[in-house]
Amino acid sequence: MSDDLNKKLESLRQKLDEMETWPTLYMYKFIVPADNQKVAQVEALFDTKESQVTTRTSKNGNFVSITAVEMMISPESVIDRYKQAEGIEGLMSL
Protein backbone atom coordinates (compact mmCIF):
# COMPACT_ATOMS: atom_id res chain seq x y z
CA MET A 1 0.00 0.00 0.00
CA SER A 2 1.38 3.41 -0.95
CA ASP A 3 2.28 6.07 1.60
CA ASP A 4 -0.21 8.42 -0.05
CA LEU A 5 -3.04 5.91 0.40
CA ASN A 6 -1.98 5.25 4.00
CA LYS A 7 -2.15 8.98 4.73
CA LYS A 8 -5.60 9.27 3.15
CA LEU A 9 -6.93 6.30 5.10
CA GLU A 10 -5.48 7.59 8.38
CA SER A 11 -7.06 10.99 7.75
CA LEU A 12 -10.39 9.29 7.05
CA ARG A 13 -10.07 7.22 10.23
CA GLN A 14 -9.56 10.40 12.30
CA LYS A 15 -12.56 12.10 10.69
CA LEU A 16 -14.76 9.06 11.26
CA ASP A 17 -13.69 8.90 14.91
CA GLU A 18 -14.62 12.56 15.38
CA MET A 19 -17.84 12.70 13.38
CA GLU A 20 -19.74 9.48 13.82
CA THR A 21 -21.34 7.46 16.57
CA TRP A 22 -20.68 3.77 16.01
CA PRO A 23 -22.20 1.58 14.71
CA THR A 24 -23.53 3.73 11.87
CA LEU A 25 -24.76 3.49 8.31
CA TYR A 26 -21.86 4.32 6.01
CA MET A 27 -22.11 5.19 2.33
CA TYR A 28 -19.37 4.07 -0.03
CA LYS A 29 -19.07 5.56 -3.51
CA PHE A 30 -16.88 4.06 -6.17
CA ILE A 31 -16.40 4.61 -9.89
CA VAL A 32 -15.04 1.86 -12.13
CA PRO A 33 -14.63 1.43 -15.87
CA ALA A 34 -17.77 -0.02 -17.49
CA ASP A 35 -16.50 -3.58 -17.29
CA ASN A 36 -18.85 -6.22 -15.89
CA GLN A 37 -15.98 -7.99 -14.13
CA LYS A 38 -14.86 -4.83 -12.31
CA VAL A 39 -18.43 -3.98 -11.32
CA ALA A 40 -18.86 -7.52 -9.99
CA GLN A 41 -15.62 -7.23 -7.99
CA VAL A 42 -16.89 -4.09 -6.25
CA GLU A 43 -20.34 -5.56 -5.64
CA ALA A 44 -18.69 -8.66 -4.12
CA LEU A 45 -17.19 -6.47 -1.37
CA PHE A 46 -20.67 -6.05 0.10
CA ASP A 47 -23.06 -8.58 1.62
CA THR A 48 -26.26 -8.45 -0.41
CA LYS A 49 -28.35 -9.20 2.69
CA GLU A 50 -26.87 -6.38 4.78
CA SER A 51 -26.01 -3.77 2.16
CA GLN A 52 -27.95 -1.70 -0.30
CA VAL A 53 -25.93 -1.50 -3.52
CA THR A 54 -26.96 0.60 -6.52
CA THR A 55 -25.20 1.13 -9.83
CA ARG A 56 -25.49 3.81 -12.49
CA THR A 57 -23.78 3.93 -15.85
CA SER A 58 -22.26 7.24 -16.95
CA LYS A 59 -23.80 9.27 -19.75
CA ASN A 60 -21.19 8.06 -22.26
CA GLY A 61 -21.29 4.50 -20.96
CA ASN A 62 -17.57 4.47 -20.12
CA PHE A 63 -17.90 4.25 -16.32
CA VAL A 64 -20.18 2.80 -13.67
CA SER A 65 -20.87 4.54 -10.38
CA ILE A 66 -21.48 2.16 -7.49
CA THR A 67 -23.03 3.31 -4.22
CA ALA A 68 -23.26 0.95 -1.27
CA VAL A 69 -24.80 1.65 2.12
CA GLU A 70 -24.03 -0.72 4.96
CA MET A 71 -24.14 -0.70 8.75
CA MET A 72 -20.53 -0.52 9.88
CA ILE A 73 -19.40 -1.22 13.43
CA SER A 74 -16.28 0.97 13.61
CA PRO A 75 -13.97 3.26 11.65
CA GLU A 76 -11.61 0.29 11.28
CA SER A 77 -14.28 -1.74 9.50
CA VAL A 78 -14.75 1.14 7.03
CA ILE A 79 -10.99 1.38 6.43
CA ASP A 80 -10.73 -2.40 5.96
CA ARG A 81 -13.36 -2.26 3.20
CA TYR A 82 -11.41 0.47 1.37
CA LYS A 83 -8.27 -1.66 1.66
CA GLN A 84 -10.13 -4.62 0.12
CA ALA A 85 -11.25 -2.43 -2.78
CA GLU A 86 -7.73 -1.14 -3.42
CA GLY A 87 -6.80 -4.10 -5.64
CA ILE A 88 -9.56 -3.49 -8.19
CA GLU A 89 -7.93 -2.06 -11.29
CA GLY A 90 -9.30 1.31 -12.41
CA LEU A 91 -11.32 1.86 -9.22
CA MET A 92 -11.76 5.39 -7.90
CA SER A 93 -13.06 5.93 -4.36
CA LEU A 94 -15.08 9.04 -3.64
Q: Would the pLDDT of 1 be above 60? A: no
pLDDT > 70? residue 19: yes
We report the CATH number of the domain holding residue 86 as 3.30.70.260
Residue-range definition of the domain harbouring residue 73: 3-93
Number of domains in the chain: 1
Question: Which strands make up the sheet holding 92-93, listed edge to edge?
Answer: 51-57, 63-72, 24-33, 92-93
Measured at the alpha carbon of residue 80, what is the angle toward residues 35 and 43, in degrees to the nearest 5? 25
- With cut-offs at 50, 70 and 90, classify the pLDDT of residue 3: confident
CA–CA distance, 58 with 30 (Å, rounded to integer): 12
pLDDT tens-digit map of 28-49: 999 999 999 999 999 999 987 8
